[in-house]
Amino acid sequence: MDFLNPVINGFAVVLEPTNLLYCLIGVVIGMLIGVLPGLGPAATIAILLPLTYNVEPVTAIIMLAGIFYGAQYGGTITSVLLRLPGEASSVVTVFDGYQMAKQGKAGTALGLAAIGSFVGGTAAIIGLTFLAPVVASFALDFGPPEYTALALLGILLVATISSGAKAKALIAAALGLLLATVGRDIFTGESRFTFGSLDLADGIDFVPIAMGIFGLGEILYNLEERHRAAKAPSKVANVWPSRKELKQASGAIGRGSVLGFFLGILPGGGATIASMASYAMEKKRAKQPERFGKGAPEGVAGPETANNAAATSSFIPLLTLGIPANATMALMFGALLIQGVTPGPQLVEQDPELFWGVVNSMYIGNVLLLIMSLPLVGIFVKILRVRAAILAPVTALITLLGAYTINNSMFEVSLVVVFGIVGYLMKKFGFEPGPLVLAFVLGELLESSMRRSLLVFGGDPMGFFGRPISATLLAVFVLVAVLPALKSMLAKRKASAAVEPAPTKIKEKV
Amino acid sequence: MIPVKETSADPVVEDDLTPEQLAAQWEDEKPPAAGPLANAASSLVVLGVGIGAVILSVAMGLGTPSAPQPGLWPFIISCVMVALGLFQLIAGRHNRDAEKFTRMSISPLTGLVTLAAMVAVMPLIGFELPALVLCIIWMRFLGGETWRSTVLISAIVVAAFYGIFVLALGTSIPHLF
């Protein structure tokens, strides 16, 4: 078990008091911002990115892991208490979670969700510990052509799996790629799209884009007062589920962990699909399926376990291939880049302390989440009772002042406002912001690997198909790109006789 | 904005919704969809950005795939963007996923103006006064708080930010005091 040595060394890093403290701060602040109605994990992480500046890389990443878990759980709290899912992956939690809250069992629901998240998350990290080095060693042979294909496939998958119109998601991705080209051309050094601005000469930073589009855009969008749902209950008691309830939910938690882990590895919305699949599976397996939607504990425990397991296992493609699987992972990717860490297959070998520090910080984040969430639920409920009218300007100011601290310049603040407008308008017009940020993050990697491979191939694009792995990936790319179009064309031909179909899809409230 | 009244009759009706009914209710509460014009407009903006980028990329020089100039990669992306914009304009003309701008949209607009104003004056007079004004506008006019709590909370918020960013963290945020 030689390979376990670096794992244990990683624990030593994580357990340093400073790191533990930062992880704790991350979990608490992540939850604090995450419980704000309408702000999901992506927005929360984006707003809090400046916090991780000026800290040691390992510490910063540990803090990020804390923020990530805290923000995830914050969304669960609003799902259960306010019937407002913080993000798509906790939508199904609303069905039974809110009913439990109505029956006075809000505490039990939150407790089950926390325990389930802990179990699912921990199981997924154990899976990650063993699987990630294997994937990484496989990916070590990847050259520029493979990375080109992988990045293209990653962007396409995230765009096509997102809710809303696929063409619009792809447009957002194209805009992200275009924004990534602003600044100096890495090969020739020539300025591109800078319009003579010195501030733009080095390109646009990732942080103002993320803070603007996810953070400020979301805040502005919420100003239209769409979140006026239920009022938070004044008191939440009994967070510890009874033995009977735990027993009832344990099967759901076990199944959710496995299901979530495997669905999470797939790119694009892993956590969302995992939570829905888990809910469907639990309902199907149940002896009395009619209990679901009326406060069945399994209906909370299963999906919450699955989405946390999936959220954790979606770190695998990020840490081993350097390809973020969804928008939240794109933020983690950007945050790692800021710290001078380029996630990729070489990370395990070259910087084992950091790699295992990241992985093990997730264990700690999970444990802290469990320890913090149960006793602190009361405080978060109090926060929920603070009116949105007061929270909105506070978060907006945190975003603006935080943006200033990135480079101590007003330019970044202006960029955040500009991208806030872009993000708001995108949401208004039905463009998913996630693909834009993801594509922006991958833009430079995509361009440089594509140009490098073309140099190798002597300018012949068919060279991509001459290598087995890149050829396979590109074949999948073409399949993913063409299949839905063909399907919808066939469906349209069938439905053309019928009246123009009204859009009936449930739009997620994020 | 007028504060939203807490309707006491609602919970009774809302409580026993099945997931399907809940989904339907969310669907109803969604802001009204925008008409075909908004969809066409957004596609045209995409087209405009795409075409602009194509022109600028060509001006930067394209080169060949084996010896690319700086403009080649932006050119490829902007061509894709133009194609997607055209596709959206034609094939997506029946989509109704855009939201209409209603009277509610005045709130984000006001919010935006205050944010932009704050960015403009912050280097001149520091962040405290603009932040205070922003808080007051957001709480009183956008959020419908009472004057008393607005003024009180705004002052506390600004003082807290001063304490965190100036006194505790010692950042160089422009400040007046």
**pLDDT tens digit at each of 510 positions of chain A:** 566 777 777 777 777 888 888 888 888 888 888 877 667 788 888 888 888 877 888 888 888 888 888 888 888 888 888 777 777 778 888 888 888 888 888 888 888 898 999 999 999 999 998 898 888 888 888 889 988 998 888 888 888 776 667 888 899 999 999 999 998 887 887 888 888 788 888 888 888 999 999 889 988 988 886 555 556 665 666 777 788 888 888 889 999 999 999 888 876 657 788 888 899 888 888 888 888 888 888 888 999 999 889 988 888 888 888 888 888 888 888 888 888 888 888 888 888 877 888 788 888 888 888 887 777 777 777 777 777 788 889 889 989 998 888 888 889 899 999 999 999 999 888 888 888 998 998 888 899 899 889 888 888 888 888 888 888 888 888 888 887 777 777 777 776 655 444 444 444 333
Q: What is the chain A residue with the closest CA to B146? A: A389
Summarised one tens digit per residue, pLDDT across range B59-98 is 888 888 888 888 889 999 999 999 999 998 888 777 777 8
pLDDT per residue as tens digits for the range A94-139: 888 888 888 888 888 888 898 999 999 999 999 998 898 888 888 8
For A446, the 3-state DSSP assignment is helix
Name residue A320's beta-bridge partners. Answer: none
Contact assignment for A171 to B88 by CB distance below 8 Å: yes
Phi, psi of B99, deg, nearest 5: -100, 145
Helix locations, chain B, DSSP H: 10-14, 19-29, 36-60, 72-91, 106-125, 128-136, 147-161
Residues of B in contact with A393 (CB under 8 A): 134-135, 138-139, 154, 157
Residue A292 inside a domain? The answer is: yes
Chain A residue with CA closest to B170: the answer is A405
Q: From CA B26, how far away is CA A509, in angstroms rounded?
A: 8
B134 vs A contacts (CB less than 8 Å): 393, 396-397
Per-residue confidence (pLDDT) for residue A295, from 0 to 100: 83
Q: Which residues have C-beta within 8 Å of that of residue A118, sequence separation ≥ 6?
A: A308, A366, A367, A369, A370
| Total domain count, chain A | 1
Question: How many C-beta neighbours within 10 Å does residue A31 have?
Answer: 29
Residue A141's pLDDT is what?
A: 83
The closest CB to that of A178, out of B4, B33, B53, belongs to B53
Contact B119 A417 (CB under 8 A): yes
Cα of B128 vs its chain's centroid, Å: 24
Considering only the beta carbons, identify the residue of B15, B19, B46 that sits closest to A95: B19
Interface size between A and B, measured as CB pairs under 8 A: 198
Exposed (0-12), middle (13-18) or buried (19+): which is B41, by Cβ within 10 Å? middle
Helices A388-407 and B106-125 pack at an angle, to 10 degrees, of: 40
Which pLDDT score is estimated for B3?
Answer: 44
Distance from CA of A192 to the nearest CA of B (A): 7
CB A146 within 8 A of CB A168: no
Joined together, the tokens standing for residue B132 give 């205070």
Question: What is the residue range of A255's domain?
Answer: 4-491
User: Which of the four pLDDT bands, split at 50, 70 and 90, describes residue B117?
Assistant: very high
Domain membership of residue A503 (yes or no) is no
- DSSP element (H, E) containing B87: helix B72-91
> CB-based contacts of A502: which residues, under 8 Å, 6+ apart?
B96
pLDDT tens, residue by residue, B143-174: 888 899 899 999 999 999 999 888 887 788 88
Average pLDDT, chain B: 82
**How far is it, in rounded angstroms, from Cα B131 to Cα A252?**
48
Residues 237-266 of A with CB under 8 A from B: none
Residue A352 maps to a domain: yes
The whole-angstrom separation of Cα A136 and Cα A142 is 10
Which chain A residues have a beta carbon less than 8 Å from that of B39?
429
Residue B55, min C-alpha distance to chain A (Å): 11
Closest Cβ opposite residue A405 in set B111, B119, B171: B171
**What is residue A508's predicted lDDT score, i.e. its pLDDT?**
38
B-interface mutation test, from A102, A294, A400, most B Cβ less than 10 A away: A400
**Does residue B5 have a pLDDT over 50?**
no
In chain B, residues with a C-beta closer than 8 Å to the C-beta of A200 are none
Top residue of A155, A204, A224, A416 to mutate, by most chain B CBs within 10 Å, is A224
Would the CB atoms of A389 and B99 count as touching at under 8 Å?
A: no
Reported as a pLDDT band with limits 50, 70 and 90, residue B17 is low
- Find, among A289, A61, A267, the residue nearest to A154 by Cα: A267
Q: Do A429 and B78 touch (CB under 8 A)?
A: no
Mutation pick from B10, B21, B25, B26 vs chain A, by most beta carbons of A within 10 Å, is: B26
| φ, ψ at A37 (rounded to 5°) | -55, 135
In angstroms, the separation between the Cα of residue A190 and the nearest Cα of chain B is 7
**What is the per-residue pLDDT for A235?**
66
> Cα distance from B36 to chain A (closest Cα, Å)?
11
In a domain, A506, yes or no: no
Interface test with A, best of B7, B13, B17, B22 (most A CBs within 10 A): B22
Contacts of A171 in chain B (CB under 8 A): 46, 81, 84-85, 88
Alpha-carbon distance values, B9 to A82, A400, A408, B6, B12 (Å): 17, 40, 51, 9, 6
Chain A closest-CA separation from residue B64 CA (Å): 7
Distance (Å, whole) CA A166 – CA B91: 12
- Alpha-carbon dihedral B37, B41, B43, B46, rounded to 10 degrees: -170
Q: Show Cβ contacts of residue B121 under 8 Å, excluding neighbours closer than 6 positions.
A: B130
Contact B26 A509 (CB under 8 A): yes
Residue A60 resides in a domain: yes
pTM of the shown model: 0.84
Predicted local distance difference test score (pLDDT) of residue B9 = 39
Question: In chain B, which residues have their Cβ closer than 8 Å to the Cβ of A503?
Answer: 33, 95-97
Nearest CA in chain B to A403: B173
How close, in Å, is residue A172 to chain B by CA atoms?
Answer: 9
Q: Cβ A293–B18 below 8 Å, yes or no? A: yes
Which two structure tokens, joined as six digits, stand for A121?
Answer: 């998350």
Note whether A37 and A222 are within 8 A (CB): yes
